[in-house]
Amino acid sequence: MEDMDGQAAGQLKVFADLLPEQWELVVPLLTRIRVIEGEMLIRQGNRPDCLFVVLKGHFMIHRNEGRCITVNKKGSVLGWFSAFSPDRYTANVTALTDGWVLSVDAGTLRDQIAADPRLEETLLKRIRENISERHSMGAGGAAK
């Protein structure tokens, strides 16, 4: 993983409950990438090849019909649906500011989840918390 040690990534809430052997499988799927303001990270309708975890920056999750929410909390998950389904992305994600995200290879993650259902349970629990926090903070709209 470029420029970020595994321990720092493991402290992110979304990965906090993973068992050591599960974490060993997830670490190779992570890549730290820089995003620039205005960059479209996820495009609605595209094949879901990655999900992203916010490390730094302000992001807008928006649907083509115009509704959106914004997130800037470290550890927020973007494109989470791609971890569990190969269906197309259901929303766009655009960076409002420069920032950093952790990219997770969704295809391989789905394979690992298929091989170990406990991984799905653990990740889904944390992602659900993440989404409900997002909504309780008053961000309107919904996006997968």
* Site for other proteins, rule CB under 8 A: 37-38, 58, 60, 62-63, 66-70, 72, 92, 94-98, 138-142
Min separation Cβ 48 and other proteins, Å: 20
Please identify, using beta-carbon distances, which residue of 117 and 140 lies nearer to other proteins: 140
Min separation Cβ 74 and other proteins, Å: 11
Interior angle at CA 122, CA 120 and CA 123, nearest 5: 65
Q: At what angle do helices 117-136 and 106-115 cross, to 10 degrees?
A: 120
Min separation Cβ 89 and other proteins, Å: 15
Contacts of 46 (CB under 8 A, 6+ apart): 88, 89
Please identify, using beta-carbon distances, which residue of 11 and 64 lies nearer to other proteins: 64
Min separation Cβ 69 and other proteins, Å: 7
Please identify, using beta-carbon distances, which residue of 13 and 63 lies nearer to other proteins: 63
Residue type present at position 85: S
Establish how many alpha carbons lie within 13 A of residue 138's alpha carbon, considering only the half-sphere containing its beta carbon: 0
Query: What spatial distance separates the first Cα and last Cα of the chain, rounded to whole Å?
Result: 26
